[in-house]
Amino acid sequence: MRWFACVDIGGTKVAVALARAAGAARPEFGPARREPTVRQGEPVALALQVLRLVDAVCAEAGIRRAALAAVGVASAGPFAHQGGALGLVTPNLCGGLSGGQTGLPNDWTFLPLEAPLRAALPEAVRLRIENDAIAALEAERRWGALQGRSHCAYVTWSTGVGVGLCVDGRVLHGKHGNAGHAGHQFVNDDASGARCGCGNLGDVEAQVAGGALERRFGRDPAALWAAALQGGDARARAQVEAVCAVMGRMLYNLVVTLDLDAVALGGGVFWPHRDWLLPRLQAQIDAHFPALTAGVRLHPAGLGEQVGQYAAAALVAGAEE
């Protein structure tokens, strides 16, 4: 059986692992590497980082890049096309999108991805690139908490806020593969002046994403929740309750717009605090319009903290056969 490469690109880290079918429900993972996502240099620096990490895990497995069956890339979006090839216009990586107001050390507005990866891979190596939340949705439907679900979503609450959507058993993609960017919707009349990396003022991501929390409250998510839940800081408690309400409204909007019956959640902000967050987010769903929300359940990602790795694997599972 041939290896396939699983690439997970986020606003904070890039992770690459090799995987292959193991004759079981889930793939068998091999060598893996991860490092902080590059944020400086030429825009092609991200694609070059991916290729370097792919080469590193291939070398550890004793194979060459050309011997791979496929490369699956699950990446934070949104996506755009340039010269007919897919690239990233990701607010948490492209500092030029906000005019420098989010503190990113670059003026990028587009990161080429498909073109440099395709140029570096033999034609026989299949390449598939998808939004990371869409890829995670596929993984959760295949191996995780959303198995057997035809009307569902996966939501990542991490450096950014991403969503993968499935209605009537069909995963939604949209005109540029950007369906599910619900983090850039407006759910309240926010007066914080919070600026999103996309340039919006006060959208969901500007208020609740991992990077936004530090900009707004002067603490990273771990420190903020620790102060609120363990430190007895009343101000921090009010802040996390307000953040939870914003995320809950976004989830409610998804449920009633698409008539969903289940949502799985993961990501670096959600996962460490899932036991506290889940019932509060569920309460936001249950509190409104039961004709559309009765029976809708929120679930922690069935694949846990490995959901990103499985997401990339889901894109190309079976390519080694």
Domain locations along the chain = 4-134+307-316, 147-301
In this predicted structure, the answer to whether residue 163 has a pLDDT above a threshold of 80 is yes
Which pLDDT band holds residue 101 (cuts at 50, 70, 90)? Answer: confident
Q: For all residues of the chain together, what is the average pLDDT?
A: 94
CA distance 109 to 92: 11
Q: Which amino acid is at 60?
A: E
Residue 74 has phi, psi (to 5 degrees) of -105, 115
- The pLDDT assigned to 103 comes to 86
CA distance 200 to 18: 37
Q: pLDDT digit string (tens) for 235-253? A: 999 999 999 999 999 999 9
The proportion of the chain whose per-residue pLDDT surpasses 70, expressed as a percent, equals 98
Would you tell me the crossing angle of helices 210-217 and 234-258 to the nearest 10 degrees? 140
| Total Cβ atoms within 10 A of residue 113 | 25
State the DSSP code for 73: E
Task: Evaluate whether 161 touches 209 at the Cβ level (below 8 Å).
Answer: yes
CA distance 301 to 147: 11
CA distance 305 to 191: 33
CA distance 320 to 203: 41
Q: pLDDT digit string (tens) for 188-202? A: 988 788 999 889 999
User: End-to-end distance of the chain based on CA atoms, in angstroms?
Assistant: 7
Cα-to-chain-centroid distance, residue 125: 24
Q: Which amino acid is at 46?
A: L
Which pLDDT band holds residue 18 (cuts at 50, 70, 90)? Answer: very high
DSSP per residue over 287-316, as a string?
TS-HHHHTT-EEEE-TTGGGHHHHHHHHHH
CA distance 19 to 31: 8
Among 27-41, 55-69, 141-155, 189-203, the least confident range: 189-203
One fold for 4-134+307-316 and 147-301: yes
Classify domain 4-134+307-316 at the CATH superfamily level. Answer: ATPase, nucleotide binding domain (3.30.420.40)
User: What would the two tokens of residue 100 be?
Assistant: 């420098």
Exposed/middle/buried for residue 280 (C-beta within 10 Å: 0-12, 13-18, 19+): middle
For residues 152-174, give the mean pLDDT.
96
3-class DSSP state for residue 130? strand
Rg for the chain (alpha carbons), in Å?
A: 19
| Total Cβ atoms within 10 A of residue 81 | 12
- The pLDDT assigned to 25 comes to 74
Pick the CATH number of 147-301 from 3.30.450.40, 3.30.420.480, 3.30.420.40, 2.70.240.10: 3.30.420.40
217-244 burial, b at 16+ Cβ within 10 Å, e below that, comes to: bebebeebbbbbeeeebeebbebbeebb
- The pLDDT assigned to 321 comes to 46
Strands (E), 198-307: 262-266, 297-300
Strands 170-171 and 85-88: unpaired
**Stated pTM of the model:** 0.92
In this predicted structure, the answer to whether residue 23 has a pLDDT above a threshold of 60 is no
